[in-house]
Chain A
Amino acid sequence: MTVAAEAIDRESPETLAANIRVGARLWTSAAAFFFMSFVFAFLYLKALNTAHSFREPHVTPPLGWGVAILACVVVSTALFAFGRTSLGDGTASRWRAMSLGALVLGLAVIALQFIEYYNLSFGATDGGLASVFVGFTAAFLLFWLAAVYWMETIWAQSLRGERAGESDIKDTNALLRPNADGCVVYLAVLVITEIFAFVLLYLVK
Chain B
Amino acid sequence: MESATVSVQPRRSNASAWGGLLKTNVIWAVVLAIVGYIVAHWLGGKIAGNIAAEQNPGGTDQADIAILLGLFGSIVGWMLGLGFFNYPLKRMLGRPPSLHEGGESGAWRYFRLCTDHKVVAMQYLVATLFFFFVAGLNAMFIRTELTSHNATLFPSGNYLTLVGLHGTMMLTMMSAGVIGPLGNWLVPIMIGARRMAFPRIESLTMWLTVLAGFVLLSATLLGGFPTGWTGYAPLADQARAGIDSYLVSFLLIGISLVLVGLNIIVTVVTLRAPGMSWNRLPIFVWGMVTTSILAVLAAPVLAAALFMVMCDRSIESTFFVSSSGGSPLLWDELFWFFGHPEVYILALPGFGIVLEILPVFARKPLWGYRLAVAGMFGVALMSFMVWQHHLFMSGINANLRPFYMFTTELISIPTGVIFLNGFGTLWKAKIRFTVPMLFCTAFFFNFLIGGLSGVFLSDVTSDVVTHGSFFVMAHFHYTIMGGLVFALMGGIYYWLPKMTGFNLNQTLGKIHFWTMFVFFNLTFFPLFAAGMLGMPRRVSTYNADLHTLNVFVSIMAFCLGLSMIIFIVNLVWSMVFKRERAAENPWHSKSLEWQIPTPVPSYNFEEIPTITGDPYGYGLPEGPVVDFGRRRPAVAAGKAGA
A12–B2 CA distance with the chains assembled, in angstroms: 8
Is there an interface contact between B330 and A44, defined as CB atoms closer than 8 Å? Answer: yes
- B91 contacts which chain A residues (CB < 8 A)? 153, 156-157
- B1 contacts which chain A residues (CB < 8 A)? 13-14, 171, 174
Given A11-B5, A53-B325, 4 other A-B contacts at CB below 8 A? A8-B10, A15-B271, A37-B305, A123-B56
Is there an interface contact between A170 and B5, defined as CB atoms closer than 8 Å? Answer: yes
User: Quick one: closest A residue to B602, CB to CB?
Assistant: A3
A121 beta carbon closer than 8 Å to chain B: no
Is there an interface contact between A48 and B318, defined as CB atoms closer than 8 Å? Answer: no
Number of A-B contacts (CB under 8 A): 239
B269 beta carbon closer than 8 Å to chain A: yes
Is there an interface contact between A53 and B10, defined as CB atoms closer than 8 Å? Answer: no
Is there an interface contact between A124 and B325, defined as CB atoms closer than 8 Å? Answer: no
B288 beta carbon closer than 8 Å to chain A: no
A41–B337 CA distance with the chains assembled, in angstroms: 13
B519 beta carbon closer than 8 Å to chain A: no
- B606 contacts which chain A residues (CB < 8 A)? 1, 3-4, 7-8
Q: Which of A7, A22, A50 contacts B631 (CB under 8 A)? A: A7
- B11 contacts which chain A residues (CB < 8 A)? 168
Nearest CB in chain B: distance from A25 CB, A: 9
- B297 contacts which chain A residues (CB < 8 A)? 29-30, 33
B274 beta carbon closer than 8 Å to chain A: no
A171–B305 CA distance with the chains assembled, in angstroms: 42
Q: Which residues 82-129 of B have a CB within 8 angstroms of A? A: 88, 91-100
Q: List 13 A-B contacts (CB under 8 A).
A: A1-B634, A7-B607, A34-B303, A41-B330, A45-B330, A50-B324, A53-B318, A130-B325, A131-B317, A152-B92, A157-B96, A160-B95, A162-B96
B464 beta carbon closer than 8 Å to chain A: no
A54 beta carbon closer than 8 Å to chain B: yes
User: Quick one: closest A residue to B265, CB to CB?
Assistant: A26
B323 beta carbon closer than 8 Å to chain A: yes
Given the interface pairs A3-B603, A168-B9, the reply to whether A124 lies near B311 with Cβ below 8 Å is: yes
- A11 contacts which chain B residues (CB < 8 A)? 5-6, 8
B402 beta carbon closer than 8 Å to chain A: no
Given the interface pairs A11-B6, A169-B6, the reply to whether A127 lies near B318 with Cβ below 8 Å is: yes
Is there an interface contact between B6 and A170, defined as CB atoms closer than 8 Å? Answer: yes
A125–B258 CA distance with the chains assembled, in angstroms: 31
Given the interface pairs A51-B322, A131-B318, A131-B319, the reply to whether A170 lies near B4 with Cβ below 8 Å is: yes
B198 beta carbon closer than 8 Å to chain A: yes
Is there an interface contact between B597 and A1, defined as CB atoms closer than 8 Å? Answer: yes
Interface string of A12-35 (1 = CB under 8 A from B): 111110110011001101110111
Interface string of B399-442 (1 = CB under 8 A from A): 00000000000000000000000000000000000000000000
- A16 contacts which chain B residues (CB < 8 A)? 6, 97
- A56 contacts which chain B residues (CB < 8 A)? 325
A130–B97 CA distance with the chains assembled, in angstroms: 42
User: Quick one: closest B residue to A10, CB to CB?
Assistant: B5
A91–B466 CA distance with the chains assembled, in angstroms: 69
Q: Which residues 123-140 of A have a CB within 8 angstroms of B? A: 123-132, 134-135, 138-139
A149–B93 CA distance with the chains assembled, in angstroms: 11
- A65 contacts which chain B residues (CB < 8 A)? none
- A169 contacts which chain B residues (CB < 8 A)? 6-8, 96-99
* Nearest 5 pairs of A and B residues by beta carbon: A128-B325, A160-B94, A53-B325, A37-B304, A156-B94
A93 beta carbon closer than 8 Å to chain B: no
- B507 contacts which chain A residues (CB < 8 A)? none
Of B4, B11, B333, which is in contact with the most chain A CB atoms at under 10 Å from its CB? B4
Is there an interface contact between A9 and B194, defined as CB atoms closer than 8 Å? Answer: yes
Q: Which of B262, B316, B323, B333 contacts A23 (CB under 8 A)? A: B262
- B271 contacts which chain A residues (CB < 8 A)? 15, 19
Q: Which residues 169-185 of A have a CB within 8 angstroms of B? A: 169-175, 179
Is there an interface contact between B304 and A125, defined as CB atoms closer than 8 Å? Answer: no
B449 beta carbon closer than 8 Å to chain A: no
Is there an interface contact between B325 and A129, defined as CB atoms closer than 8 Å? Answer: yes
A9–B333 CA distance with the chains assembled, in angstroms: 46
Nearest CB in chain A: distance from B4 CB, A: 4
Q: Which of B7, B311, B325 contacts A50 (CB under 8 A)? A: B325
User: Quick one: closest B residue to A35, CB to CB?
Assistant: B304
A49 beta carbon closer than 8 Å to chain B: yes
Is there an interface contact between B301 and A36, defined as CB atoms closer than 8 Å? Answer: yes
Nearest CB in chain A: distance from B61 CB, A: 12
A29–B95 CA distance with the chains assembled, in angstroms: 28
B residues engaging A (CB < 8 A)? 1-2, 4-11, 55-56, 59, 88, 91-100, 194, 197-198, 258, 261-263, 265-266, 269-271, 296-301, 303-305, 307-308, 311-312, 315-319, 322-327, 329-330, 333-334, 337, 597, 601-603, 606-608, 631, 633-634
Given the interface pairs A9-B603, A172-B96, the reply to whether A19 lies near B266 with Cβ below 8 Å is: yes
A45–B99 CA distance with the chains assembled, in angstroms: 46
Given the interface pairs A15-B271, A38-B304, A50-B323, the reply to whether A157 lies near B95 with Cβ below 8 Å is: yes
- A37 contacts which chain B residues (CB < 8 A)? 300-301, 304-305, 308, 334, 337
Is there an interface contact between B265 and A15, defined as CB atoms closer than 8 Å? Answer: no
Is there an interface contact between A8 and B8, defined as CB atoms closer than 8 Å? Answer: yes
Is there an interface contact between B265 and A5, defined as CB atoms closer than 8 Å? Answer: no
Given the interface pairs A8-B8, A9-B194, A22-B270, the reply to whether A53 lies near B324 with Cβ below 8 Å is: yes
A38–B324 CA distance with the chains assembled, in angstroms: 17
Q: Which of A139, A156, A162, A172 contacts B93 (CB under 8 A)? A: A156
Is there an interface contact between A30 and B6, defined as CB atoms closer than 8 Å? Answer: no
Is there an interface contact between A30 and B601, defined as CB atoms closer than 8 Å? Answer: no
Q: Which of B8, B300, B631 contacts A168 (CB under 8 A)? A: B8
Is there an interface contact between B9 and A125, defined as CB atoms closer than 8 Å? Answer: no
Is there an interface contact between B266 and A22, defined as CB atoms closer than 8 Å? Answer: yes
A172–B91 CA distance with the chains assembled, in angstroms: 12
Nearest CB in chain B: distance from A40 CB, A: 7
Q: Which of A1, A2, A14, A138 contacts B311 (CB under 8 A)? A: A138
- A12 contacts which chain B residues (CB < 8 A)? 2, 4-6
- B197 contacts which chain A residues (CB < 8 A)? 19, 22-23
- A152 contacts which chain B residues (CB < 8 A)? 92
A203 beta carbon closer than 8 Å to chain B: no
User: Quick one: closest A residue to B314, CB to CB?
Assistant: A124
- B266 contacts which chain A residues (CB < 8 A)? 19, 22-23, 26
- A41 contacts which chain B residues (CB < 8 A)? 308, 319, 330, 334
A204 beta carbon closer than 8 Å to chain B: no
A8–B606 CA distance with the chains assembled, in angstroms: 6
Is there an interface contact between A44 and B311, defined as CB atoms closer than 8 Å? Answer: no
Given the interface pairs A26-B296, A34-B303, the reply to whether A125 lies near B316 with Cβ below 8 Å is: yes
